[in-house]
Chains A and B, each alone.
Chain A
Amino acid sequence: MTACLLAIVILAACSTQAAQPVPLKSGVEFASADVRSLQQDDFANPGMLWVTRGAKLWLEPAGSDGKACGTCHGDANRSMKGVASRYPRIDSVSTGLINLEGRIQQCRERRQHAPLMAYESDELLALTAYVASQSRGIPVNVEIDGSHRAHFERGRAMYYQRVGQMNLACTNCHDANWSKKLGAETISQGHGNAYPIYRLEWQAAGSLQRRFRSCLSGVRAEMFPYGAAEYLDLELYLAWRGQGLAIETPGVRR
């Protein structure tokens, strides 16, 4: 009797325990052949326009000391390799959890003493895409222990929380129904390993937070503003949930 109850409790705990989808699949695997080939072609990939822009910005002096990113960081393909795979994180300089966009903004403000680039601005997308693309092929691997734990738990709670007029949680589509159709779209597992992406629907590059906002809008829930703590926590949870997937930035999605 006790054994039965124990088994039930354990089973119940396992079912609510956060888990990686099995098998783990990047969003590109749910895309059509045309979108996949667009991502694989480094010239035709429209996201590469942002990466190229980012490469130029990397060398552009900014701020009161006229320093460029490259002044301190040298060649990005050496110094930025692997960086994107570890974000979001609480790093040695930040006061809280930040994503790659936040890290770039922090550098601009504190190191370059340059004006901040607005979230979702073309410049910030370009630099983020450029830095993230230096980690292409490297598996996502984020920390969730220590000071990250509270953020991870909040991100996980948000992932499982039903919201909006449609009363849906991320898990309802991206765990229970990935590979099935939602209208004409094939539902992916909802990973962030290819971001910033070029989305054909947006006709532009965009961040993971832009995608969150699209999803929230889609379930008729209130969208938090860009940079919100809720998004950062969710980014961390998603990175943990998708760890092992290779960074693909700049991804192309429908």
Chain B
Amino acid sequence: MSLARIQVPASAKRGEVIEVRIAIQHAMEAGFRYDNNGRTIPKNVINTLVARYNGTEVFRAELGSGISANPYLQFFMTAEASGDIEFSWVDDAGERGSERAAIVVVG
């Protein structure tokens, strides 16, 4: 499974809009490169990424080969209750990945 790193603030106030960042190790193979035998390396990119905050979807990205290798995304969300933000993704080859990070919300 692809390695991923998530960055969220250590803690947030209820109602605060916080920044969430994720970086995933994935070649995002566009399908235009050749191997040493001259054959095209088939396209395989992460095509869907979903973020759920305490089980509810807060962000969804449909990605194409125009997204750089080792994709990096930053977005925002409103901190409501302490819990988890969980990312899950799937690539063209059907390989799934997921990663989660804890969020502490005060107030």
Chain A residues packing against B (C-beta within 8 Å): 43-44, 46, 48-50, 52-53, 56, 198, 203-204
Contact = CB atoms under 8 A, between A and B. Distances in A.
Nearest to A50: B25
Given A43-B7, A43-B23, 12 more contacts: A43-B5, A44-B23, A46-B23, A46-B69, A46-B70, A49-B3, A52-B5, A53-B25, A56-B3, A203-B27, A203-B69, A204-B27
Nearest to A45: B23
B68 interface: yes
Interface in B48-76: 68-70, 72
Interface of B: 3, 5, 7, 21, 23-25, 27-28, 68-70, 72
Given A46-B70, A203-B68, A52 B3 contact: yes
Contacts of B5: 43, 48-49, 52
A48 B21 CA distance: 14
A203 B21 CA distance: 20
Contact of A53 (B3, B7, B27, B68): B3
Nearest to A122: B25
20 contacts: A43-B7, A43-B21, A43-B23, A44-B21, A44-B23, A46-B23, A46-B70, A46-B72, A49-B3, A49-B5, A49-B23, A50-B25, A53-B3, A53-B25, A56-B3, A198-B70, A203-B27, A203-B28, A203-B69, A204-B70
A176 B24 CA distance: 40
A48 B25 CA distance: 10
B70 A203 contact: yes
Contacts of A203: 27-28, 68-70
Contacts of B25: 49-50, 53
A49 B21 CA distance: 13
Given A49-B3, A52-B5, A204 B69 contact: yes
B100 to A, nearest CB: 15
A158 B3 CA distance: 39
Contacts of A48: 5, 23
Contacts of B27: 203-204
A58 B70 CA distance: 22
Closest 5 CB pairs of A and B: A203-B69, A49-B25, A46-B70, A43-B7, A53-B3
Contacts of A52: 3, 5
Contacts of B68: 203
Contacts of B7: 43
Q: Which of A49, A53, A198, A204 has the most CB of B within 10 A?
A: A49
A52 B7 CA distance: 13
Contacts of B24: 49
A7 B69 CA distance: 57
Nearest to B21: A43
A50 B26 CA distance: 11
